[in-house]
Structure 1
Amino acid sequence: MGQASSAAACAHGVDHEEEEEEGEEQEEEKGEGEGVRSLLFSGMDLTVFAPDECLAAVFQKLELSDRRQCSLVCKRWYRVEGQARQRLSLQACVEIGLALPALLERFQHITKLTLKCDRKRCSIDDDALCVVGRGCQQLRKLKLKACKGLTDQGIDRFAKLCGSSLRKFSCGSCQFGPHGLNSILQHCANLEDLTVKRLKGFKDSSEFILPNTSCSIRRLCLKDFPNGQLLVYPLIAQSKNLHTLMLSRISGNWDLLFESISVHMASLVELHIEKVMLTDRGLQAVACCTNLQVLYVVKPSECTNKGLSAIANGCPKLCKLHIDSWKNNQLGDEGLATVARNCKDLQELVIIGLNATMSSLSLLASNCSSLERLAICTSDTFGDLELSCIADKCLALKRLCIKGCPISDRGMEALVGGCPSLVKIKVKKCRAVTPASVEWLLTNRVSLVVALDTSPTTVAPEAQVRPVQESNIVRENAPVPLTRSPLARARFAMAVVACTFMRWSASNGS
């Protein structure tokens, strides 16, 4: 008994000591907080004690407009904000050419630069682009849009100046052609991302796009080439490390091209095909990419269930599948059922103009247990029965979009007890769905967000329909929250940083 009582007394003493230490720590923290507040309200500018690194870290947390206003406070903030800036977007009109040296001298550590010009105005010329090449030695990403004053010679000079650091190059609605693009590919050995849209220099050119022997491109996006299929063929074929390929509105038959390059695209993971001449033969060639996980097929010329089934059989790792059949009645249940049987890891499915029925949707809901996003648009066969099947079996579904389908309030009622993981549902142009069913649905599932638009012609902005709750009512005597200007917020943040820095310095010195 004596030993037990002594042990209990010791334990009680230890607990008492711990409580005293915690109380002392809380008092110290409270005192430090009061000290910071007193210094802030004393009128002293504590930002002078904060190092430049801390000041730059605070600037990076601000929005762009707030950051610009803060840079005009004093010379030090102006200098630090310029050195910490890594992204810059400029209106690339011809008048900015004279100001470029001063701008680039201020922003010496730019890694991402966007030069965008209005199509009705004259853009910068080759000399201005060379100034950019000399002033931005750390440039990793460059985007050119509607810079009609640039030629192949200017692109060639720029590529020689900063080709070693460039990782991403994007151009659209420019005048240069294959020669300038070849200069980028030859001198930028570390280029990983290339986007080319609407280059007018391709119209009257027959020069092929030939990448470097050590081509390291992982993402390639090509759009709006009138006669560019044969010109870009060597670029696609020699990109051995290609991860993402996006093709849109490029003339020519792509079946033969996919058959010839599918063997070299074993590393392809994401493929976007939009408005190109493609048939089942081309889809069968794409099916050889066994590592494919994301596939977008938008408005192909001639594709049937046979091509879609070939994709499902050859690419079992598919996670995202978007199909816009463009009123093609040859795509339907048969191809979708094959996808449901073989692509069991499917997480996102978007079908537009594809008439899916119970036979394929039931199989899809049963086999694809990881399906989180489903969008069904312009389907004449998707009604209340099909929606009830989705509600009963898709347990992991989080987002549901239904547009232009013959569903009604009866089908919406099935969502009250179904799809337990559902977060948001969007219903557009479904005339039989009324706001009353939406209100009743939200009454039973308060956390659900519903966007309803029953107009067949106009698209109304998304609105979250919710019953009025006590927490949403603003009371008359409620205190009005204080709002601070961007400058006040920045000063407050840097004052706290300065006080913390001074406290650390004092503790290290002691």
Structure 2
Amino acid sequence: MPSFNPPKKPSNPWKPPKSSWVPAFFLTRNPKTLNNHVFFKMQLEEDQQGKRRSDLSLLLSDQILAGILSKLPLPQLSCSLVCKRWCRIHGSLLQSLKLHDWSFLERGRMVSRFPNLTDVDLINACIKRVPTSNWGLVLTHSMVTIPLDTSDLDLSGELLGEGRRLVPESLDQGLRALARGCPNLRRLRVVDVSRPIDDEGRAFSTADGYEGKALDTGLSMIAAECLMLQELELHQCTDFSLRSISNCRNLQVLKVVGCSEGLYGSVVSDVGLTTLAHGCKRLVKLELCGCEGSYDGISAIGMCCFMLEELTLCDHRMEGGWIAGLKSCGNLKSLRLQSCRRIDSDPGPAEHLGLCPTLEKLQLQRCNVRDKQGMSALFTVCGTVKELEFQDCWGLEDEIFSIGSCCRRVKSLSLEGCSLLTTEGLESLVLSWKELQRLRVVSCNNIKDIEVTPSLASVFSVLKELKWRPDTKSVLADSLFGTGMGGKGGKFFKRV
């Protein structure tokens, strides 16, 4: 019986073999699709060539373009709006940034946009913003200016409640992102948060064997990853915060803000100062604002931070006897007291105070100096100073000012806004300083030109620098001399 074989279907000429390297668009059965794709590709190449002709900056490499943009004056923000390439290059050039939105850092967008940051200010971003208040009230502080809301005016005594501050988890997440994205960070300003007692982290030991806690925070991540960090400003600081930054081995400039009236009330005690001293031994400049402590904390800083040259105490809450700890600062050259309500309530016997041997400059700004015992202890410890400055100090009378006679090496004296000091009190001390070379007296209304004696005038004649404007009235009279103004009405307004 004859066999029947059905005819085979003709093979598709557009079907490539299975092992073909032909692109996917050749797999279609419609030849028109192939023609459309080829036409689209040719048109795309023509558009790209036309774009290259119109944008001549594409002929420059990224390195050359970055060199050109770096020569432009600041700010360079408009350069980043040209195109994505210019935005990327501009971001790589920016090294200093002041952030206002914390979410920009917390989501990782800041470090990807600006990968080469070395100076970051996060203080404004650490305080949550509220919609524009109908009250029209604005809080202006030395570090921040923010609008106030009705929820901020509570009975706790702080204008910024818990609702305006970051939670610890959000702060740690943002600082971790900053530490990973900007390892070359050199300067940082940030506001820490208060943490519950049960969130103190696990125990750890430093290289010197000091036991502490809190290695699992954002600040500790900054200390571990940003090895080039040299300057740090930490607000709302506590002993817990100082433990976290104790591993910043290369830190040289540190500003610690503990309690700030109207904003927050945190506590920095001897425990935190001792932890800081054992960890950050390369400190050159230290500023303590609103910090508590005593002789133990100051002496620990002096003994461990042997490179410390400048120490500033602003509105301190130190216990009595802290001045004696200054004798441990073997390399201290400048001491500044700002807005201090008291100098030292109980300095102790004079024989236990000691002397700071290398101190050259002493500044008192907006301080209450009425305490004779505290001022006597201060001048005793600072007996080697060569520059002495008083600015807007309360209670600087002749008796208090005369205590400075124990400082016999004074070469420069500056007095500003000291309204209780008289000409006689100034003269008695100036004549005792044989090495005085510079004198500056401004806005001291009790010091009169007519009371200057010949002996005091002879001292003025040998000074290298003299700025004498004690009485604002005399300055006004000198400026109006010869103009015909400032006289009586009958002589000035002539009748026609």
Inter-partner Cα distance in structure 2 for 1:367 and 1:274: 25
Paired residue secondary structure (1:448): strand
SS at match of 1:295: strand
Higher RCO, 1 vs 2 (CA within 8 Å, ≥6 residues apart): 1
Distance 1:132 1:396 in 2: 51
Once the two structures are TM-superposed, the CA of residue 296 in structure 1 deviates from its matched residue by 1.0
Partner of 2:422: 434
Whether 1:258 and 2:186 are equivalent positions in the alignment is no
Does 2:258 match 1:272? no
Match of 2:363 in 1: 374
Match of 2:119 in 1: 193
Q: Does 1:208 align with 2:208?
A: no
Q: Distance in 2 between matches of 1:337 and 1:163?
A: 50
Q: CA deviation at 1:322?
A: 1.4
Structure (1 or 2) with the greater helix fraction: 1
Partner residue of 1:422 out of 401, 406, 412: 412
Match of 1:306 in 2: 296
2:87 paired with 1:112: no
Q: CA deviation at 1:261?
A: 3.7
Q: Highest Rg: 1 or 2?
A: 2
Mapped partners of 1:112, 1:341: distance in 2:
45
Q: TM-score, normalised by structure 1?
A: 0.50
Amino acid at match of 1:465: P
Relative distance call for 1:451 and 1:136 in structure 2 (3 A) is farther
Conserved 8 A contact 2:293-2:319: yes
Task: Give 1:212 shift.
Answer: 2.8
Say whether the 8 Å CA contact 2:303–2:329 is kept in structure 1.
yes
Aligned residue among 392, 398, 402 for 1:408: 398
Secondary structure of the residue that 1:208 maps to in structure 2? Answer: helix
Match of 1:72 in 2: none
Deviations 1:321-380, CA, capped at 9 Å, x for gaps: 112354x3x5233x3222223334332332623317776888878433342233272255
Q: 1:354: which partner in 2?
A: 343
Distance 2:184 2:218 in 1: 19
Opposite residue 168 of structure 1, the aligned amino acid is S
2-side partners of 1:382 and 1:218: how far apart? 43
CA shift at 1:175, angstroms?
3.9
Deviation of 1:475 (Å): 9.6
For 2:382 and 2:105, the matched residues in 1 are separated by 58
**CA deviation after TM superposition for structure 1 residue 271, in Å:** 0.9
Cα 1:339–1:178, aligned 2, differ >3 Å: closer, same or farther?
A: farther
Amino acid in the other structure paired with 2:75:
L
- CA apart distance, 1:240: 1.4
Letter in 2 for 1:434: T
Cα distance between partner residues in 2 of 1:349 and 1:428: 17
Alpha-carbon distance between aligned partners in 2 of 1:402 and 1:383, rounded to the nearest angstrom? 20
Q: 1:195: Cα distance to partner? A: 0.8
Shift of 1:191: 1.6
For 1:443 and 1:239, the matched residues in 2 are separated by: 53
Asked if the contact 1:159/1:183 (under 8 Å) is kept, the reply is no
Distance 1:160 1:180 in 2: 20
Give the counterpart of 2:190 among 213, 222, 239: 222
Deviation at 1:192, TM superposition (A): 1.2
Quote the Cα distance in structure 1 between the aligned partners of 2:378 and 2:300: 29
Looking at structure 1, the residues matched to 251 and 393 of structure 2 have their Cα atoms a distance apart, in angstroms, of 32
231, 241, 249: which one pairs with 1:244?
231
**Residues 475 and 446 of structure 1, relative CA distance in 2, 3 Å threshold:** farther
Q: Show the counterpart of 1:464.
A: 469
Q: Which residue of the partner structure matches residue 66 of structure 2?
A: none
Any conservation in 1 of the 2:288–2:313 contact (CA below 8 Å)? yes
Opposite residue 133 of structure 1, the aligned amino acid is S
Partner residue, 2:56: none
- Residue 308 of structure 2 is matched in structure 1 by 318
Shift of 1:265: 0.9
Residues 357, 386 of structure 1: 8 Å contact kept = no
- Give the superposition deviation at 1:185: 2.7
Deviation, structure 1 residue 399: 3.1
Read off the aligned partner of 2:91 and give its amino acid letter: G
Provide the identity percentage: 16
Unpaired stretches in structure 1, ≥5 consecutive residues: 1-106, 115-128, 138-156, 456-461, 477-510
Secondary structure at the counterpart of residue 287 of structure 1: helix
Tell me which residue corresponds to 1:293.
284
- CA shift for structure 1 position 243: 0.5
Matched residue, 2:457: none
Q: Is the 8 A contact 2:313 2:337 kept in 1?
A: yes
Residue of structure 1 equivalent to 2:27: none
Partner Cα separation in structure 2 for residue 442 and residue 136 of structure 1: 67
Q: What are the superposed Cα offsets for residues 395-450 of structure 1, whole Å, 9 maximum, x if unpaired? A: 52253457234642573496699444114134647x5x335544777899795112
Aligned residues: 317
Q: Does the Cα contact within 8 Å between 1:312 and 1:339 map onto a contact in 2?
A: yes
Inter-CA distance 332–407: structure 2 relative to 1 (3 Å threshold): farther
**Do the aligned residues in 1 keep the contact of 2:286 with 2:311 (CA within 8 Å)?**
yes
Closer/same/farther in 2, CA of residues 280 and 248 from structure 1, 3 Å limit: same
User: Contact 1:346 / 1:370 at 8 angstroms: preserved in 2?
Assistant: yes
Instruction: Give 5+ residue unaligned stretches, structure 2.
Output: 1-68, 130-164, 197-213, 259-265, 447-466, 483-496
Once the two structures are TM-superposed, the CA of residue 109 in structure 1 deviates from its matched residue by: 4.1
